[in-house]
Amino acid sequence: MEKNKQSMIIQTIAYGALWGLAEATIGYLLHWLPALVAGSVMFPVGAAILMRAYGRNGSRKMLFFIGVVAATIKAADFILPVISPWKVVNPMICIVLEASVVAAVALMVEKGPVMARLALLPAASVAWRFLFLGVLGIQYLTTGTLSVQISTPANIVSFAIWSGLFSGALAIGLDFLRRLGSKTFVKPFTRPAFAGALVALALVVTVLL
């Protein structure tokens, strides 16, 4: 395996594990905050991690697989007693959708004009939410499970548009901070031992929290 490809695989695992760890830790702490804030923070965090990886490698395909790694770590919750499997499956779907929409806009967010960043991050935030509403609609039609996000038109608008725009605004702020620190703390993400340790830590924390 050529060195560059091997490095990208290691980084994909490391950044995916970092995202999975953030989902387990920050996501747990967010339960104490108001619903609008709690439901809007994880996309900006995930987007910042993805854009950090893109800034280093310039591969949009890599961003999708980072999401797959993070979602796979989230699957560790299946070993815990849960009321419904959808409480595990749906967050996994959200992670993959978030990674997909960020991958779609990553080039313009990274290299485009400031106005592109200001528009595309909120647009991506709203876009993945509408895609997820479609998933929830399919779940309702096939299983009869009605999620609160699609239970009323007001809930649909609140989840997809208002929370999406708020989350997109937070994403702009985190992306600005990400750019300020873009030249620091890079080498560990190219090391197999670091990637493996992050995966192990993320799995343990996911199960414990």
Interval 105-145: pLDDT, tens: 999 999 999 898 899 999 999 999 999 999 999 999 999 99
**Token pair recorded at residue 28:** 């747990």
- The structural domain count of the chain equals 1
For residue 159, the 8-state DSSP code is I
**Which residue in 75, 86, 96, 95 sits closest to 136, CA to CA?**
86
Q: Is the distance from CB of 182 to CB of 174 less than 8 angstroms?
A: no
Over residues 67-79, mean pLDDT: 95
CA distance 159 to 27: 17
Work out the pLDDT band at 33, boundaries 50, 70, 90.
confident
Helices 60-74 and 86-111 meet at what angle, rounded to 10?
160
Q: Give 45's contacts (C-beta < 8 A, 6+ positions apart).
A: 19, 22, 26, 174
Higher pLDDT, 183 or 5: 5
Sequence-ordered alpha helix ranges (H) in the chain: 3-29, 35-57, 60-74, 86-111, 114-143, 153-157, 163-180, 192-208
pLDDT top residue among 4 and 194: 194
Task: Read off the pLDDT of each residue in 152-169 and give the average, rounded to a whole number.
Answer: 96
Range of the domain at 154: 3-208
At 75, the pLDDT band (50, 70, 90 cuts) reads very high
Whole-number average pLDDT of the chain? 92
Regarding predicted confidence, which is higher, 180 or 131? Answer: 131
Residue for token pair 């990886």:
53
